[in-house]
Structure 1
Amino acid sequence: MTDPLPQPPRLSDLITVPTDRRAFLAKASAFGIALPALAAGCSRTEPDARSAADKAASATGASAPHASPTHLPSNPDSRLDSSLNHVAPLSSAAPGTVPGAQATAFHRYDPALPPLSSSSTLKLHFHAREASVRISDDTVVAAWTFEGDLPGPIVHCRVGDTVEFTLTNESAVPHSMDFHAAQIDPKQAFRSVVKGASVSYTFKPKYAGAFMYHCGTAPVLMHIGSGMYGAIIVSPREPLPAAREFVLVQSEFYLSDASQGVRAFDYPKMLSTLPDFVTFNGRPNQYIKDPIRVKVGERVRFWLVNAGPTHPCNFHVVGEQFDTVYLGAPPGSAIRGVQTWDVAPGGGMCFEVLCDVPGEFPFVNHGFGHGQKGSIGILVVES
C-alpha cells in the first residue's frame, strides 16, 4: 500500500503570516515566493558634488540657469534635463536626512483607485523629499520620494480635465516631474529645480489610460530607481462598466547593505539590472499578507503601471483570464480572453477580470525570476 500523496498548501495559509519569520519563509517557499535574505553591512553616501551654479542656486532658493541642448550632460539616462548639470550621487542616502529604522512603521499601500473629483480642475502640489520607508518587516529604505512615500500618490482625473501641477523641492538633490499623461514642452515643464525652488505647469490629458509619472532629472535611472515615481489614471469621459478598481505600480529595488538598519538605493547596482526586490506598490508580497478582497459577480479593473526602471511586467492572474485588456485608450482597442500581457517599463495598461467563482487568485509578474522577488499578491473573491 502506497503512502497518500501530501496535500498542497493553501494560499490562505500565507494570508495570516506567522510571527516566526522562519515559518513564514517555509510556507512561502511552497509557492515559490522565497524572500531574499537581508544582510547587515553599511551603505555608501557620496559627498556633495554639485556644481558651483547648483550650490549658488540652492543658497538663493532659485533654479540654476537653463543650459542649451548642446551643453546637456553626456549621459544615456538623460531625459533632456535642461536646467541643471550636476554629478549624480551613487546612493540615495543623505547624511542627516533619514530617521532611524526603529522610528519607521510599515503601512500597506492602498491600491484602491481614488474617486474622481466633482471639479474639472485638479490642483496638485507635490513635494520632493528624502524619507525612510519600511517596505517589509525587516527592510527600511532611504528613498527619494514624492510626498514622503513610494510610489507617490495615485492621481485620478478625466480626459480633458485641467491639471494644475506644482512641484516644490525639499531635497538636497535637484528634482523634476515628468507626467506621461501630459503633452507639453518638456524643456520648460519638466525642468529640474534645486532645494527650495518650485516649478508649475498646467496640462489637459488627451487620452484615457494608466500613465506613469516620475522624476526626469539625469540620471533618470537613479531618480526613478530611488523611489520617485507614481501613477496617474485618466478615466474616459464616458464611464467604463461598473467595477472595483485598483492601481498596481510595479517597481524594482536595487539596495545597498544596511547601515543603522536602513538600506540605500544603489546606482551601480541599478546598472547591473539585478534587483533585490520587484514589487507591486513598493512593498514585496504585501498583498499576500493583506490581500485585495472582492465579491463574486464583481468586475475587477486593474490599472497597471510599470515604473521599471528597467524590466517588463508580465501580468497574469492565476486561475483566471482577463475578460478585457485595453491595448490603447479605454474603451477602444479591447481584446478578450487574455492570459498574460507584457507592460513595458514606463508603460501602463488596463486589465479587467470577471470574478465568477469564489477563491484565492494570485496576481503575479509571470516572469517568475521577478515574481519570486515580491511582485505577487492575492485577489480573494468571497461569496
Structure 2
Amino acid sequence: MTALELNGISKSFKNDEVLSGLSLSADEGETVVIFGPSGTGKTVLLRLISGIYDPDDGDIRLSGSSVIGIAPERRGVGMAFQNFALYPHMEAAENIASPLQARGGTSAQIADKVRDIASLLKIDHVLSHRPKELSNGQKQRTALARALVAGPKILLLDDPLRNVDAKLRFEMRLELPRLLREFQSTTLYVTQDYKEAMALGDRIAVLLDGGFAQVATPEDIYRDPVNIEVAKLFGDPTINLIPSRIVTANGGTHADLAGSPIDLGPGYAHAAGREIYAGIRPEAISISQTATKGALPVELIAVTPLNERVVMLLHLADGTEFFASAPEEGAAGSREHGPAFAGIYPADLLIFARDSGQRIQPQTSNRQTL
C-alpha cells in the first residue's frame, strides 16, 4: 500500500523556486533516499511533508489522505535533523519522551517506551545526561530515538549521520536498515553521500534542478543513469566521459576513441553520426601490459593506492585523460608506468548525447569482450 504521495509539489522563497512540480510515491515500510548536492531543496522537501512549510502548489497525501492544512503534530510524522536539534535544558530521556508527552499518556507508559527505544539504540546508560554531556554519536542516537519513539507512520531523516565521526557513520549504515525494518516506518532519508544512499535506500530519488532526475533502485541508478549529471554523482573516481562520435563502417557501428574503434554492435546504429560522450566506470576497465584483441593502447601515467583499491591515471593516444581502478591484489601487473592496454566490455559503455547530456539507449542488447 502507498504510504506517501507527493503530487506536483512546488515551493518558492521570494523569487527563488526551490521545487517545481515534484512527484514521488513511497510504499509502506520502504526507505527512499533523497539524494543530491547541497542546495537542491532536500531539507525543504522534508519540511513540506512534516508541515513546517506549506507548498505553493500540489498535494501531499499520507495513507491516501491529503495533509495540506493539517498541523505538524497531527500528521503522524517523525523527523530527525542533521544538527540533532535536542533541547539543551532537558536530559536525553526528556528529549526522547517529548513527542509522547505531546500526545498524552501516563508517566509510566512514557518511561517504558523511552527505556525500550534507548536500549535498542544502546543509549540507555546516558538517559540522565543533558546534550552537552553527550558525544556526537550519542546525540545522533538520541535524536533518532525521539523520532522513532512514537512509532510514526512516516519517518523523515535529514542527513542524520553528517555530523558524526567516520566510525559511527559506518556502524550506523549497517544498523539503520535493521532498525527501520523493525519499526516498519516509511522512511525518507536525505543525504549528500552517494555511498550512504546506496547502502540505505530501497530506492534513490536524485533531486536536481527542483525535480527528480531519476528514481530507481541503487543498482539501476549506478548502472543505468538517465543522464551525465546523475552518472557523475555516483562513483569514486567518478565516471570517465570521453568525447567521441558514433560511426558506421564496414557493416558495423562503433565509437571512435582517439583513433581506436570500439564496436558497439547494431544497437546503436540509430545514433550513427551523433557526437557523444562515451561513459565508462573506472572499475570496468582492465589494464594489461600485453596487447589483446581490440584493447586500446594507452599510456599509464600514475598509480595511486587507495586502501583496498588502486587507481590508475591513463592517457589515450590523443592525450585524453581517464581513470581505471582495480582491487589491490589484482593490480600487481599494472604498476609500471609507460605503454599499456585498456580492455573494455562494450556493454559497460554508457553513451550520452554530447549536446544534451541525456543517455542514448541501445535498441538491442549486446555484450562482447574487446
TM-score, normalization by structure 2: 0.26
TM-score, normalization by structure 1: 0.25
